[in-house]
Amino acid sequence: MKAMILLALAAVLLGAPLPHASAESRSIRVHTTVTKWGQMPDRFIVSGQPLPDGVTAESFTIDGKASAWGAAALHPFSCGVKAIHATEDGWELIPERFPDKYFYVRELTVSCSALPELGFTLQEIGKTETDTADSFFWYRDAAGVLDAHVFLPEPDGPVPVVVVFHGYGDTEILLTYRTAVPWAEPANQAVRPCIVIAPVIPSDRYPSALIRGKVLDAVMAYITALAEQGLADPSRIYAVGNSFGGMTAFEMAERFPGRIAALLALCPALNYSPEAQDRLTELKDIPVTIAQAERDETVPVQVARDAVAALREAGNTGVSLRIYTDAEMEAAGARHGFSETYSFHHVELAVMEDESSFEWLFAQRLP
């Protein structure tokens, strides 16, 4: 051990590599998980390069540059390293919590002060693995109207369908936040097997009610085909969405009131769709849950209160409104302020970590 420490010191002072640290034949991949903060790397996996004794996590630094939602400019970031350990054919580096969603990273440098040959850059990472998100496949209908990430389980018999709509601009629906992925995760599938359909609507098309209508028709056509194949349960189709996606979930329920079994809307931006607001009376027989923060900076909470009032006036006895206080949002990890990365508009931070939301949705079915 003493000899290795001396060698490490020599490597730092003289730039000489330690034995068996060659980077020439190695391969690197990153494993990520979609947490409540979005896609986060939890380990960098290096194969084909042994880890010399004496190298510790303190020897490593992670630096880079990333973009952000709605911003082209890059900002610098740094991240600590929690642990490093040898594997059968190499080594793994465990970072601290990453400061940015991984799919926003544009530059990345992992440096090792004890042994520079252990360092690497983003360009050297050959593969990104993401739990659950990798289980989805890309679907495009024949007409080119519907683009969606789809998860198909392999249970016996037809299963419910959860259709999840993303917010405006959040086209990386599987990686941005936990609204689509949790339904497909093994823990949920073990007790609530289901098909998950996550449409992706480009920002330049999303504001068009006509285009949204065509997408909704294509979604229902796809579900109908899955039902005819015995894969989907037509009595348990659920519409879910956040922000602009919450509004679109309402539009789907209004477009197919006899086919949607329940609606879970997170901070729905109904104020952007007067027609959707006018048609709320058509949802008198559909169970609806709306969740929103009391001080949502993007969509006034009064929009949700007005929607609930309209639904109840129409005779809907299965509507509920869950308002989250400032303390509850802060406990979930949000901070008040429009410019905050996780503002109070991100009510999914609380809702998608609450098992009762899943239980309520799957308890609903058409007669």
Q: What tokens were used for 172?
A: 């990386």
State the pLDDT at residue 317: 96
pLDDT number for residue 21: 58
Closest residue by Cα to residue 242 from 263, 220, 221: 263
Work out the mean pLDDT of the chain and round it to a whole number: 93
Cα dihedral 332, 333, 339, 341, rounded to 10, equals -110
pLDDT for position 341 = 87
CATH 3.40.50.1820 domain residues, the chain: 133-362
pLDDT score at 155: 79
What is the distance, to the nearest Å, from the Cα of residue 160 to the centroid of all Cα atoms in its chain? 20
Cite the residue boundaries of each domain of the chain with CATH code 2.60.40.
2-130
What are the phi and psi torsion angles at 308 (to 5°)?
Answer: -65, -40
Q: Residue 359: phi, psi to the nearest 5?
A: -60, -45
Q: What's the confidence (pLDDT) of residue 24?
A: 72
- Return the SS3 of 108: strand
Alpha-carbon span 367 to 364, nearest angstrom: 10
Residues 239-286 pLDDT 10s? 999 999 999 999 999 999 999 999 999 999 999 999 999 999 999 999
What is the CATH T-level fold of the domain 2-130, as seen in this structure?
Immunoglobulin-like (2.60.40)
Measure Cα distances from 70 to 67, 147, 198 in Å: 9, 21, 21
Residues 6+ away with beta carbon under 8 Å from 145? 214, 215, 217, 218
Q: Measure Cα distances from 36 to 165, 174, 189 in Å.
A: 17, 12, 19
Mean pLDDT per 10-residue section of the chain, whose length is 367 residues = 42 44 83 96 96 94 93 93 95 95 97 96 97 98 97 91 97 96 97 98 96 98 97 98 98 97 98 95 96 98 98 96 98 93 96 96 97
**Cβ neighbours, 10 Å, residue 215:** 25
Which of 68, 42, 64 has its CA nearest to residue 120?
64
pLDDT at 339: 83
- Which string of DSSP letters, residue by residue, matches 21-52? ---TT-EEEEEEEEETTEEEEEEEEEESS---
Sequence-separated (6 or more) residues with CB below 8 Å from residue 173: 149, 164, 166, 179, 180, 198, 200
pTM of the model: 0.91
CA nearest to 74, candidates 55, 100, 95, 41:
100
Q: Which residues of 44-62 are buried (b: 16+ CB within 10 A; e: fewer)?
A: bbbbebbbbebbeeebbeb
Q: What CATH superfamily is the domain 133-362?
A: Alpha/Beta hydrolase fold, catalytic domain (3.40.50.1820)
pLDDT at 175: 97
User: Angle 63-179-104 (CA atoms, 0-180°, nearest 5)?
Assistant: 20
